[in-house]
Structure 1
Amino acid sequence: MALERVQKVMAEQGMCSRRAAEQIILEGRVKVNGHPVNLGDKMDVNRDTLSIDGQRIRLEKKQEYHYLMLHKPRGFVTTTSDERGRKTVMDLLADYPARVFPVGRLDKDSEGLLLLTNDGSFANLMMHPSHGVSKLYRVTVRPRADESQVIALSKGVTLDDGSVTQPAVINVVVDEPGRTVMEMTIKEGKNRQ
């Protein structure tokens, strides 16, 4: 009998992210074999019955994993669905035969490599800062960034929500009047970082 935490099962089955699964569990919406689940509770995918909001969830016993690399163009939101009706990266994969979800995110006005998968363990490995996976961004700043701003970014900055980013490795590629182009390497992906 292979027991796994319920939130991990939900994420690995591609239902939602592990963080979202934890929230759903905290809201009391998840049951295993008819009993409410607490964070950290475990289940056997091959034997136990999982339900969310009273609906039984069909669990895949043996899952085929999919890993996609997508060049996300500007104008698409990195999410599986958007309540405001904006275009999502899933619109670019409308004909893909398996359900996948984004690994991390890029802002609507950003473009670049985005990974998508249905492998929750892989997604967690890539996204969680404790695993130390670096992400490289090429950023154009207008007007030109001055030296003190570049130094501040490399030491870590305080975001609007009061959280502080980890230090970033900054490489200035172009520095000219009106703009600075930098390559930033970070190990976390805080919103609006």
Structure 2
Amino acid sequence: MEKIRLQKIIAESGYCSRRKAEELIAQGRVQVNGRPCGLGDKALPGKDIIAVDGESIAFTKKKRMYYIMLHKPRGYVTTMKDELDRKCVTDLIDGIPARVYPIGRLDKNSEGLLLFTNDGKFANDIMHPSCHISKTYRVTVRPDINDDQLTALSEGVEIDSGKTRPCTVLVLDKQPGRVVLQMTIHEGKKRQIRKMCEAVGLEVARLKRTSVGPLKLGMLKPGEYRELKPDELRALRNALAKNK
């Protein structure tokens, strides 16, 4: 049997995404047969003992893949475990007989659609920079917005991680001191929507992700989750294939 790169083995085990596995390896937190390893190292799944932080990863020949949609409420952090003992999104995912982890993230004060899976390749495909899967948000900003600000947001603005790609911005509602926008982006920089709005002088009062590619949050209530329907998963895979 040919040896396989560690990050692929870890991702296919369902422990985490391939990108996260690479981070763990680079941080020196992965061991093979009790020895520290580095990026580029390989192993034999099912034969070599692979551990993260001293905890062995379990492998099974056949594993059911789960694809979950959660309506993340505000006040929860997108992580598996929090050192500050804050509420984690994984606290809301119960009744799933597998270790599932979030694909991407929403910050603590944001809400809306968040995906979970134990399919490492699927998660890696969605999070890869070349993916360009659209993400739509309902954004409440203060105090008001003008045409120059709308144009800047649409064409792309400079934030700390570089200039953002062009996006679609629609005004859904406008009241004194408050505007509701719909923003659709095709990338996933950290806290991107908030930083874009701050760059043009707007304060984000509320941020809710309503869709990821063809998937829509719909009537799912905050804190509730469900498995993706076969046609939803197929539509998302098709969207991924088109963007490759």
Alignment of 1:110-189 (within 5 A): 110-159=110-159, 161-189=160-188
Helix, strand or coil: the match of 2:138?
Answer: strand
Q: Retained in 2: the 8 A contact 1:45–1:61?
A: no
Give the equivalent residue in structure 2 for 1:191: 190
Deviations 1:83-115 (A, max 9, x none): 111111111124432211111111222221111
Alignment of 1:77-88 (within 5 A): 77-88=77-88
Once the two structures are TM-superposed, the CA of residue 67 in structure 1 deviates from its matched residue by 0.9
Q: Aligned equivalents of 1:81 and 1:56: distance in 2?
A: 18
Helix, strand or coil: the match of 1:38?
Answer: coil
Instruction: Answer yes or no: is 1:37 the counterpart of 2:42.
Output: no
Aligned length: 192
In structure 2, relative to structure 1, the CA distance for the partners of 1:41 and 1:137 (3 Å cut) is: same
133-142 vs 166-175, greater mean Cα deviation: 166-175
Q: Retained in 1: the 8 A contact 2:17–2:121?
A: no
Normalised to the residue count of structure 2, the TM-score between the two structures is 0.69
Alignment of 1:43-122 (within 5 A): 43-122=43-122
Normalised to the residue count of structure 1, the TM-score between the two structures is 0.86
Once the two structures are TM-superposed, the CA of residue 55 in structure 1 deviates from its matched residue by 4.8
Q: Retained in 2: the 8 A contact 1:129–1:187?
A: no
Structure 2: 5+ residue runs without aligned partners?
A: 193-244
Once the two structures are TM-superposed, the CA of residue 123 in structure 1 deviates from its matched residue by 1.0
Helix, strand or coil: the match of 2:133?
Answer: coil
Helix, strand or coil: the match of 2:158?
Answer: coil
Higher RCO (CA 8 Å, separation ≥ 6 residues): 2
Helix, strand or coil: the match of 1:130?
Answer: coil
C-alpha root-mean-square deviation of aligned residues, in Å?
2.2
